């Protein structure tokens, strides 16, 4: 059989990986500047860790791992007939992580007494979702998360806003919108329309607004048990526009009877005030009342970032979660807030908009091309000098025809080639060819190093 890839996964060649590393390095540098420490967790977690944290729809997208050995040995006809929910715990105890937040919460609970609280960590690893593959949506993809846990301070939300702006601008994605909302406002809306306790179902449906439109969202709410009166009462939510101050004023007036909503509005106001006090220039913030974020663990501020001018979904998202660690049996309440950048979607955005720097995919800077064994004896010490000077350099391993070696340099987009034949061996003056301009010059080994350094 011909080899093939699992749908929703991709290979990344050297050029693609160089560009991806540019994204990773840019994001990592920002995380470190803001005081976050690195962390990694296993690819697989116990299903008891993962299930129940993402809502019903999220749980359905978990990849389960069959137990080792004869995983079906304990199954009985009665168990099989009972359906997948009864059968699953008997054949699969582990699953691939769906995101990095729940494993992080599990880590915090297990290592609480060894951590300096508030604990700030960043994590850059792949996650897996059993989703239907389509443009911008993959089954395996990388996330770059930064979370702080152990504080209720809205300074953390403000710093997330700053980090998002720094990352986007350093990546060259200047045309973006950072949408912000607060789940307490959605809870208040559910109370206001006469559906208290149904904010989770409301958020899941509203989260699909961009994908399926208002009419289908309202139809889904009806299917989820919202009355016609409740659905009709949502109308102001879809027409609330204007500046941030105007939207906040409209929200205060509309939801005046909901104490929960008023608290969420106050938190938003304080976060925006802190961002202003930080001195963020030209903030690209947008208060969006319809921003919901479908995951069930969010309890406060929620964020979402979209690149404008491209048909790709959100490239970053996150929010405040107050109760996630309590899901693991700890009596101590540890509130947290975090942001996640989707590397694969960011790559697609930058690729479509041609935003990668010219040198982002650059590997080798200099190729040494000796014509014979005497040339190789000259090339090897120079190769060592170049590498010690921090220059990415290599030597063609075979004594082949010059054209073949130059073709190799062109295929790898190596900008400089040093040709070392009998004349170069005798004079010590090496021929340096600029593969971009075609120009050649004679230089000593030391001068070659200085030239390519920069």
Q: How many CB atoms lie within 10 A of CB 307?
A: 26
pLDDT for 88 equals: 74
**pLDDT score at 361:** 64
Could you identify the residue written with the tokens 């391993």? 397
| Orientation of helix 14-33 relative to helix 343-352, angle to 10° | 120
Q: How far apart are CA 29 and CA 368, in angstroms?
A: 33
Nearest to 424 by CA among 372, 385, 386, 388: 372
Instruction: Specify the length of the chain in residues.
Output: 454
- Residues paired with 208 in a beta bridge: none
Of 175, 102, 182, the C-alpha closest to 145 is: 102
User: How far is Cα 142 from Cα 351, in angstroms, rounded to an integer?
Assistant: 17
pLDDT in tens, 274-294: 999 999 989 999 998 888 876
Question: Measured between alpha carbons, how far is 89 from 65 in angstroms, rounded to an integer?
Answer: 11
Q: How buried is 386 (Cβ within 10 angstroms: 0-12 exposed, 13-18 middle, 19+ buried)?
A: buried
Phi, psi at 144, each rounded to 5°: -120, 105
pLDDT (tens digit per residue) in 123-161? 999 999 998 888 768 899 999 999 999 999 999 999 999
Positions in the chain whose pLDDT score sits under 70: 79, 81-83, 86, 136, 294-295, 324, 361, 454
In this prediction the pTM is 0.84
Assigned token pair, 22: 């540019």
- Picking from 321, 278, 327, 308, the residue whose alpha carbon sits closest to that of residue 53 is 327
């Amino acid at each position: 059989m011909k080899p093939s890839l699992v749908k929703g996964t991709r290979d990344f060649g050297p050029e693609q990986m160089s560009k991806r590393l540019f994204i990773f390095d840019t994001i990592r540098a920002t995380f470190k500047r803001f005081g976050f420490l690195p962390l990694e967790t296993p690819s697989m977690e116990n299903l008891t860790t993962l299930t129940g944290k993402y809502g019903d729809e999220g749980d359905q997208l978990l990849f389960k791992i069959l137990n080792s050995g004869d995983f079906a040995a304990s199954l009985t006809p009665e168990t099989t007939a009972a359906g997948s929910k009864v059968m699953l715990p008997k054949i699969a105890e582990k699953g691939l992580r769906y995101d990095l937040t729940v494993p992080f919460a599990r880590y915090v609970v297990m290592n609480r007494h060894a951590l300096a609280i508030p604990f700030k960590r960043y994590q850059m690893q792949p996650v897996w979702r059993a989703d239907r593959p389509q443009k911008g949506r993959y089954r395996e993809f990388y996330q770059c998360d930064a979370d702080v846990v152990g504080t209720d301070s809205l300074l953390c939300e403000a710093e997330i806003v700053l980090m998002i702006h720094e990352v986007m601008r350093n990546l060259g994605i200047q045309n973006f919108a950072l949408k912000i909302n607060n789940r307490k406002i959605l809870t208040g809306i559910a109370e206001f329309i006469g559906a208290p306790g149904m904010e989770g179902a409301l958020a899941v449906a509203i989260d699909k607004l961009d994908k399926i439109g208002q009419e289908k969202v309202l139809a889904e709410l009806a299917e989820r048990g919202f009355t016609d009166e409740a659905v009709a009462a949502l109308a102001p939510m879809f027409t609330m526009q204007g500046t941030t101050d105007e939207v906040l004023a409209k929200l205060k007036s509309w939801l005046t009877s909901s104490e929960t909503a008023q608290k969420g509005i106050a938190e938003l106001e304080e976060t925006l005030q802190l961002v202003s006090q930080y001195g963020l220039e030209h903030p690209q913030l947008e208060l969006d009342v319809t921003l919901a974020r479908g995951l069930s663990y969010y309890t406060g501020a929620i964020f979402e970032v979209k690149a404008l001018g491209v048909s790709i979904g959100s490239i970053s998202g996150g929010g405040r979660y107050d109760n996630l660690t309590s899901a693991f049996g700890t009596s101590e309440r540890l509130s947290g807030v975090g942001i996640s950048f989707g590397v694969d979607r960011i790559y697609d955005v930058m690729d479509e908009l041609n935003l990668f720097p010219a040198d982002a995919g650059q590997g080798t800077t200099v190729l040494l091309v000796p014509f014979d064994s005497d040339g190789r004896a000259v090339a090897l010490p120079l190769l060592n000098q170049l590498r010690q000077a921090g220059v990415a350099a290599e030597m063609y391993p075979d004594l082949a025809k010059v054209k073949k070696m130059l073709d190799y340099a062109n295929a790898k987009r190596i900008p400089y080639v040093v040709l070392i034949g009998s004349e170069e061996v005798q004079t010590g003056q090496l021929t340096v060819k600029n593969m971009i301009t075609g120009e050649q010059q004679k230089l000593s080994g030391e001068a070659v190093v200085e030239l390519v350094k920069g």
